[in-house]
Amino acid sequence: MSGKYRYVIMTMIVLMTIINYVDRGAISYAQASIIKEFGLNPKTWGEILGYFGYGYMFGALFGGALADKKGPKFVWLLAGTAWSLFEMGTAFAGNIGLALFGGSALAGFALFRVLFGFAEGPLFSTINRTNANWAAPKERGFVTSVGLLGTPLGAMLTAPIAVLLLSFVDWRMMFIILGFLGLIWVVVWAKMFTNRPEDHPKVSKEEIAEIRTTQGLLKTETTLVEAEQVHVPWYYFFKNTTLVLNAIGYFSFQYVNFLILTWTPKYLQDTFHFELASLWYLGMIPWIGACFTGLLGGKISDALRRKTGSLRIARSGLAVGSLMLTALCFMLIPTVNSVGAVLALMAIGNAFNFLPNSVYWTVIIDTEPSKAGTFGGVTHFITNIATIVAPTLTGVLVASSGYTAMFVAASVAAGIGMLAMLFVKPGRFKQFTQREIGI
């Protein structure tokens, strides 16, 4: 792509995100075989799904800081290799638990899910560091949404890929094959990516000028070069109300996202008695709209920025409206009885949930681009408390009150995020920033 090599980089990021999401979601389609083989129940299964989040939180936190310090390429290669190996190791997790941890298959799965989560954790904060390096200010929303497109695509493709593999091989071999695909991506990425566009032979001087331009900047925006002139300590994140509230808003998104990813297959099997062979297409339905709105949201956000001159309208306003509609859709699900109506509401609600997906990351770049990786990691740490809470709490709620409680909890989570985003004010207010960090 002449003069637009940064979009080649973003396309490769989409592919890696798809691999990442298929790797984390495939276990949900192996749940019947794993539960039967190791004698698990809904509560312990929810715990296994939730263990991923413990590692994921800390992986995001340390991965983001490492991406700022060592560069995103180092983190991409390290994390991609590690999570692919732990994906393969999941095939043997239960048996390792039985052999080494007092006969507890649960302990074995806990170990590998935590390690796997830790290795996957740096992905999105490293994407944010990459976008801060490679994207022009005027296209931050769109480029971020392109990078994040792999989230709904990966979630949607998890069902057909996992079911297809399970129709030919057992669940253990499925994990091994998926891990091997991740290692192939790592090898290719090592040859085609550099930390900054200035270091890449395929990036023209004209494209670098386009990326680093100051033309059209809002008063509260800055370029990466300008931002690097000021040292901002990591703890400044917690002095900035916008960054903290933005993380809470993103938590709400992730709660709904991870709930659908981990519990939809079991919900469809338990409630409507579908067999695994039917889940390859049913599991795709909740993600179809999100594939479009996740990308569209970045375009809408950039258009609002351009037309209104307000980052608050372009970022926060979009998130508030979307989360309100998400909450409404999930609140309506318990009122319908047919699988078609349930899946339609789930798909619409998830589409609204993904509309501002890029916003949460763009707010960080808008507010402090010099710490896009570190602050992205802190944001993702807070956000991914949801990867523990959503599957674990759902297991408890389903066991005690049925699936209705699962959807009510999703609505409440979206409502909390909507309230948080009401008070988010993106942008780098330089006078305030310098006073806070002691300059």
Q: Is residue 34 part of a domain?
A: yes
Position 236: which residue type?
Y
- pTM here is 0.75
Position 107: which residue type?
A
Question: The tokens 């069902």 sit on which residue?
Answer: 159
| CA neighbor of 13 nearest in space, from 118, 131, 121 | 131
Q: Is residue 48 part of a domain?
A: yes
Half-sphere exposure of 35 (CA within 13 A, CB side): 15
| Residue 285 structure tokens | 């339905």
Q: Name the DSSP class of 240.
A: -
What is the spatial distance between Cα 217 and Cα 220, in angstroms, rounded to a whole number?
A: 8
Q: Name the DSSP class of 186.
A: H
Altogether, the residues listed in the chain come to a count of: 439
Whether pLDDT at 368 is above 60: yes
Q: Is residue 77 part of a domain?
A: yes
How much is the pLDDT for 437? 47
Q: Is the dihedral of CA 420, 421, 425, 427 positive or negative?
A: positive
How much is the pLDDT for 411? 96
Angle between helices 42-70 and 372-383 (to 10 degrees): 170
What is the spatial distance between Cα 9 and Cα 194, in angstroms, rounded to a whole number?
A: 9
What is the spatial distance between Cα 19 and Cα 13, in angstroms, rounded to a whole number?
A: 10
What tens digit of pLDDT does each residue of 122-180 get? 988 898 889 888 888 778 778 888 878 888 898 889 989 999 999 999 999 999 999 99
Half-sphere exposure of 436 (CA within 13 A, CB side): 18
CATH assignment of the domain containing 260 = 1.20.1250.20
| CA neighbor of 339 nearest in space, from 406, 272, 423, 290 | 272
Q: Is residue 143 part of a domain?
A: yes
Whether pLDDT at 229 is above 60: no
How much is the pLDDT for 3? 64
- Looking at per-residue confidence, does 218 or 144 come out higher? 144
Assess contact for 333 and 307: CB atoms under 8 A.
no
Reported as type and span, the H/E element at residue 417 is helix 403-421
What is the spatial distance between Cα 167 and Cα 61, in angstroms, rounded to a whole number?
A: 37
Question: Which structural domain range is residue 62 located in?
Answer: 5-198+212-436
CA distances from 418 to 310, 392, 408, 425 (A): 19, 23, 15, 14
- List of long-range contacts for 30-39, beta carbons under 8 Å, 24+ apart: 30/162, 30/166, 30/171, 30/174, 31/265, 31/266, 32/269, 32/276, 33/170, 33/171, 34/94, 34/171, 37/94, 38/94, 38/105, 38/106, 39/105
What whole-number percentage of the chain has pLDDT above 90?
Answer: 51
Per-residue buried b or exposed e for 34-63, using 16+ beta carbons within 10 Å of the residue's own CB:
bbeebebebebbbbbbbbbbbbbbbbbbbb
Q: Is residue 205 part of a domain?
A: no
How much is the pLDDT for 222? 57
Assess contact for 161 and 26: CB atoms under 8 A.
yes
What is the spatial distance between Cα 102 and Cα 100, in angstroms, rounded to a whole number?
A: 6
CA 312 to chain centre: 22
Instruction: Please return the burial class of 230, using the count of CB atoms within 10 Å of its CB with bins 0-12, 13-18 and 19+.
Output: middle
**Average confidence (pLDDT) over 387-404:** 89
What is the spatial distance between Cα 326 and Cα 324, in angstroms, rounded to a whole number?
A: 5
What tens digit of pLDDT does each residue of 11-43 get? 899 999 999 989 988 998 898 899 999 998 888
Angle between helices 318-332 and 241-272 (to 10 degrees): 20
Give 131-145 as a DSSP string: HHHH--GGGHHHHHH
Assess contact for 298 and 358: CB atoms under 8 A.
yes
Considering its fold, how many domains does the chain have in total? Answer: 1
Radius of gyration of the chain (CA): 21
Q: Is residue 207 part of a domain?
A: no
| Residue 411 structure tokens | 């609505």
Q: Is residue 79 part of a domain?
A: yes
Position 370: which residue type?
S
Q: Is residue 261 part of a domain?
A: yes
Q: Name the DSSP class of 313.
A: I
pLDDT, averaged across the chain: 88
